[in-house]
Structure 1
Amino acid sequence: MSCPDCFSGHVHTGTPKGQVTRLHGLDVYVAEPSAGPVRGIVIIVPDAFGWEFVNNRILADHYAEKGNYKVYLPEFMNGNAAPVWLIETIRTLTTSKSFGDYVKMPYHIAWAASAFIPFMFLNRFGKSWPIVRSFFESVRQNEGARLPIGVAGFCWGGKHAIYLAHGAEIDGKPLINASFTGHPSFLNVPGDIEKINIPVSLAVGDLDSVVTPVVAKEIEKILSGKDGEVKIYVGAGHGFCVRADSVLSDASRQAAESEDQAIDWFTRHFAAISL
């Protein structure tokens, strides 16, 4: 399932601190802790705005610094991320009130469609999943051979995070040891959730129109017999984990709390891993 909420929100004000490199065939933004030993590797599968979106890079920095993880934010979209200007276009469409706004509506709809339709086609799951899985396989076979690996997937990346939690392996080792997803999109519920075999944590807003509270409760019920959790954030909409909330004008508190949720989840499950 998808909707304009996947492409709305707010641009973070800040400067990323990591570095860009080439790794396992992809361009990757890498964030590392400033002090202390690396506890594990966290790979972010981002929202529609991709690996260059400043919100996603700053989130990678926060994970690295707060959790002492090496964090990878790869270019999984081959240059086909949704343009950031779409944020303002969607906001205009969803908040228009004056007569002048409505007169301009066809113009904004046309612009939104010109970005939305190519994104959906070029980044469809059947095309992106092999790329994502291949990267995780390479990490597990190389620098992740003796480190725990986690995935954090958001919106577009959420389905990938859930699929990775199904328990795929390479060389007898799971591709990941723990999964976190914030406001995922495109999920098939209950099917995608029933196949989960790896610890998974979900963060969703109670105003999310993609994973609604009803769907979130269904997911929570399925996970009751597994190592999983669902946390619902009151007042938050789609996109809040990367400070791109479609409802709130300022989702800083909810975003910070979801960061802590992810870090606590990874830390708890990484500590139990012996590779």
Structure 2
Amino acid sequence: MPTPIPPCCLKSFPWTGTPTGTETSLSSLPTYTTGTNRRSALLFIPDLLGWRFPNARLLADAFAAEANLTVFMPDFFAGEELDRDAILEGRWGDLDLLDFSERNARGVREGAVVAAARELRARFERVGAVGYCYGGWAVLRLGAREEGGLLDCGVVGHPSWVVEGDFDGFGNVPLQILAPEVDGQFTDELKGYAFRKLVLEKKGDDGVPVDWVHYPGVAHGCLTKGDENVKGEREAMVKGKDAAVGWLKQWLS
């Protein structure tokens, strides 16, 4: 059974702006698509607020425009959406987070995530993946050694539901980790384990570029919430977006 997502992971603050992409399909899933690059694609696995949440779509638009990519963000939750107003208003009692987490557990959604990445690999020369919170474990899974070449790079922001085995089995895929200081999901202990497995124990021919970005003084979720009323959060969101854009340009151009 997956660990229930705590309410702090779901609090969010809508950015300004209107998403500019369209709704298409990928691997038979409804998908938000933005960008026009025919060579390089990015699979975006969002947090539990899902593929329709404006913040996620605006981030996808930014990646498409600033890194020159075609970005695909499928609905991996089978049409189910959490009550956004309840989340924004802090009415946690109105949300059945445990059941939602069980219906969308790793074992339930992994097949669809892998299938989407395989379709992009068949269609594009270069393929990357980015995932925040819930999407973090999915990016690590796509970069696993046994998947063998699904990704050319990955970006993981304040990941949830990750376990030590995700880092034990990660392959030779350039990876960026965006890690806020305060994170009950990606704990200090798990951060230390990940750094040791991805960096300290990979030498020579086994080594692979890892970009580890630490965001002091901010908490889990800041890279997508961007709440300007929380000290440092909007700045962290902007820096996180810029860092991801730079990484994606480096490996997918």
- Report the AA paired with residue 265 of structure 1: W
4+ aligned runs moved over 6 Å, structure 1: none
Q: For 1:234, what is the secondary structure of its paired residue?
A: strand
- Report the AA paired with residue 195 of structure 1: G
- Report the AA paired with residue 8 of structure 1: K
- Report the AA paired with residue 120 of structure 2: V
* CA distance in 2: counterparts of 1:51 and 1:249, whole angstroms: 27
- TM-score, normalised relative to structure 1: 0.81
1:253 counterpart residue number:
235
Provide the alpha-carbon RMSD of the alignment: 2.2
Q: For 2:83, what is the secondary structure of its paired residue?
A: coil
Q: Which runs of 5+ in 2 are unaligned?
A: none
- Report the AA paired with residue 235 of structure 1: G
**Residues 125, 67 of structure 1: alpha-carbon distance in 2 compared, 3 angstrom cutoff:** same
Q: Can you list the C-alpha shifts for 1:248-270, whole angstroms capped at 9, x where unaligned?
A: 36622211211122122222223
Bigger-Rg structure (1/2): 1
Q: Summarize the alignment of residues 206-225 of structure 1 with structure 2, pairs less than 5 Å apart.
A: 206-224=181-199, 225=202
Q: Can you list the C-alpha shifts for 1:121-154, whole angstroms capped at 9, x where unaligned?
A: 211111100011111112212x22xx21000011
| TM-aligned CA deviation for residue 53 of structure 1 | 0.3
1:74 counterpart residue number:
74
1:137 counterpart residue number:
118
Whether the aligned pair in 1 keeps the contact of 2:21 and 2:33 (CA below 8 Å) is yes
1:192 counterpart residue number:
166
1:161 counterpart residue number:
139
* CA distance in 2: counterparts of 1:22 and 1:215, whole angstroms: 35
* CA distance in 1: counterparts of 2:114 and 2:105, whole angstroms: 14
Q: Can you list the C-alpha shifts for 1:134-189, whole angstroms capped at 9, x where unaligned?
A: 11112212x22xx21000011111100011111444xxx61111111101000112
1:121 maps onto 2:102 in alignment: yes
Whether the aligned pair in 2 keeps the contact of 1:8 and 1:244 (CA below 8 Å) is no
Whether the aligned pair in 2 keeps the contact of 1:243 and 1:250 (CA below 8 Å) is no
* CA distance in 2: counterparts of 1:128 and 1:38, whole angstroms: 27
**Residues 218, 86 of structure 1: alpha-carbon distance in 2 compared, 3 angstrom cutoff:** farther
1:265 counterpart residue number:
247
Q: Summarize the alignment of residues 1-275 of structure 1 with structure 2, pairs less than 5 Å apart.
A: 1=3, 2-32=5-35, 40-90=40-90, 108-112=91-95, 114=96, 116-141=97-122, 143-144=123-124, 147-169=125-147, 174-189=149-164, 191-197=165-171, 198-224=173-199, 225=202, 226-227=207-208, 228-243=210-225, 248=230, 251-271=233-253
- Report the AA paired with residue 118 of structure 1: D
- TM-score, normalised relative to structure 2: 0.87
| TM-aligned CA deviation for residue 81 of structure 1 | 3.1
| Same amino acid, percent of matched pairs | 25
